[in-house]
Amino acid sequence: MNVKNYTEALDYIFSLASPKDKKHTPGIHLDRIKKFLSLIGNPQDTYPTIHIGGTAGKGSTSYITARILSEYGLTVGIHTSPNLVALNEKFSILQKGVNTPIPCTDEEFTSLVNWFISHRDAYELDGSEPLTFYEVIIAMVFKYFQLKQVDVAIIEVALGGKLDATNVINADVASVVSVGLDHTEILGSTLEEILQDKVHIMKPGKHFISGITTPSLKKIVHAYADQINTRVSEIGRDFEYSISSDTLSGVIFSFANNEFKLTNLQLNLIGRYQAHNTSLAIQIAYSFLKNHTEFMSTHFDSAVRRALSTAQLKGRFDIISHNPTIIFDGAHNPLKMRSFIKSLKSYIKNKPTNLLFSCSQTKDLPGILEELEDLNIQKIFLTEFTKKYYTDISSYSLDVLEQETREQFDTNFQIMCFQDPKEAFRTFSNDLKNTQVGIVTGSLYLLGNLYQTYEN
């Protein structure tokens, strides 16, 4: 069997997914993916890797790390989760002078699917349990980066760490950017339980970069690192940052570790929290280069400055319009929303705000809405979405969204409901005055849909 085109390739890949798989829920073991990778020659071992996890900030940190290394002259593979618009984004390459990762083409994706099909029967010949949708994607990612002859691949964890299908790599450097309450039905109901799962991406004898700042949680990082003999660099202890300017034009800050200092770094991303993510990215990139002397040169400072000053990241405090101001942010758990709103309020103060909102059914809706209470909201536009192909990844119903919103807020403002997110966005945009700020948030899936509408 072969697929003939991109549409058939997508249809085939998504036919592999059960509802559970489509939510990127890890299996109870890594045996399936390890066996398949062994069968095809372990492509993930043919190039160096960096592994990045965390409840919030892992996507930004992965991107900035990739930008630094690409500006340094490396060909960088970057796998992110979730994708914003197209599945191809999970298979992306960054090279010097290119601001945004370049996804694989539709033709390349189709070829990858046919490559998997050609090996599937051999894998299942002895009655082995079929790979899940997510495991197939990860295997294809590893193969794609091998075919593209990357110098390094940056692999973002989808969920947790210990049993995530990406956790078959022996990463040179690993990092947990942050920890918060998300996916609690799988990872545990406390920060301690969640972090104990996430730290398993660190590997014996390698280097772990920690973004954890809470003293009691830092003990979990160091306890596991001591157990497996991993060296830890910790933000606030081994490296730090200091912000000198934080505006809607970006963040200016200084970075220092035990070996060097970089002053007046100009980051073309908005939000104080991005200084945290970027500092981790600088330390991750430096640690990687230091262990790979074949890449090391004296140009680290200039590579960092080029990468930061030209950074472009969709879905993270992305101002898509200035007149009126419309901001897209894909915050989809309380920790992400708290960081976004804290930065937003520092810029817009008490300016009147209209909100376009939706939220996946698997997310903590009351917890996310609670973080929005400080905004001076005039109107809320609620909408639903269903992710194409992921038929089970959908928003809360309008009834639930409206009920939770009215319970959370003093509803002296208007709430409008739309089944179609595109219609919701058109009405939201047309209603917005130049004296107001428009915020679209709650789900990266919602943003992916609306980016296509807006750009068209």
Does position 22 have pLDDT exceeding 60, yes or no? no
pLDDT of residue 25: 45
**Domain boundary pick from 292, 309, 326:** 309
144 within a domain of the structure (yes/no):
yes
Give the best-scoring range by mean pLDDT among 88-102, 200-214, 327-341, 377-391: 200-214
Q: How confident is the model at residue 456 (pLDDT cuts 50, 70, 90)?
A: low
Helical axes 58-71 vs 300-309, angle rounded to 10°? 130
Same domain, 66 and 197: yes
pLDDT of residue 418: 96
pLDDT of residue 347: 92
Q: How confident is the model at residue 160 (pLDDT cuts 50, 70, 90)?
A: confident
Exposure letters 192-203 (e unless 16+ CB within 10 A, then b) = eebbbbbbbbbb
Q: How confident is the model at residue 23 (pLDDT cuts 50, 70, 90)?
A: very low
Please give the Cα distance from 56 to 337 (Å, whole number).
9
**Domain boundary pick from 263, 285, 309:** 309
Q: pLDDT tens for residues 379-414?
A: 999 999 876 555 456 889 999 999 999 998 876 789
pLDDT of residue 333: 87
Q: How confident is the model at residue 169 (pLDDT cuts 50, 70, 90)?
A: very high
Task: Using DSSP, state whether 35 is helix, strand or coil.
Answer: helix
pLDDT of residue 21: 45
pLDDT of residue 83: 82
pTM to 2 decimal places: 0.90
Q: pLDDT tens for residues 25-62?
A: 444 579 999 999 999 999 999 999 999 999 889 999 99
Does position 19 have pLDDT exceeding 80, yes or no? no
Helical axes 300-309 vs 273-291, angle rounded to 10°? 150
Give the best-scoring range by mean pLDDT among 17-31, 72-86, 108-122, 333-347: 108-122
- What is the helix (H) or strand (E) element at residue 207, kind and residue range? strand 207-210
Q: How confident is the model at residue 171 (pLDDT cuts 50, 70, 90)?
A: very high
When divided into structural domains, the chain yields a total of 2
1 within a domain of the structure (yes/no):
no
Same domain, 300 and 326: no
Q: What are phi and psi of 92, to 5 degrees?
A: -125, 155
What mean pLDDT do residues 253-274 have?
96
143 within a domain of the structure (yes/no):
yes
Same domain, 166 and 37: yes
Same domain, 326 and 295: no
pLDDT of residue 179: 87
Same domain, 302 and 326: no
Domain of residue 437: give its range.
Answer: 318-455
Same domain, 149 and 241: yes
CB 375 within 8 A of CB 345: yes
Same domain, 12 and 138: yes
59 within a domain of the structure (yes/no):
yes
pLDDT of residue 394: 80
Q: Which amino acid appears at position 12 of this protein?
A: Y
**Domain boundary pick from 309, 339, 359:** 309
Q: Which amino acid appears at position 374 of this protein?
A: D
Does position 20 have pLDDT exceeding 90, yes or no? no
Does position 448 have pLDDT exceeding 60, yes or no? yes
CB 413 within 8 A of CB 378: yes
Same domain, 185 and 38: yes
24 within a domain of the structure (yes/no):
yes
Same domain, 189 and 334: no
Alpha carbon distances (Å) from 291 to 97, 207, 375: 24, 10, 46
Structure tokens at 411: 């509803």
Same domain, 123 and 188: yes
pLDDT of residue 210: 97
Does position 110 have pLDDT exceeding 70, yes or no? yes
Per cent of the chain over pLDDT 70 is 93
Same domain, 246 and 345: no
CATH number at residue 326: 3.90.190.20
CATH number at residue 51: 3.40.1190.10
Same domain, 217 and 324: no
Residues whose CB is less than 8 angstroms from the CB of residue 261 and which lie 6 or more positions away in sequence, other chains included: 254, 255
Q: What are phi and psi of 377, to 5 degrees?
A: -80, 130
Does position 335 have pLDDT exceeding 90, yes or no? no
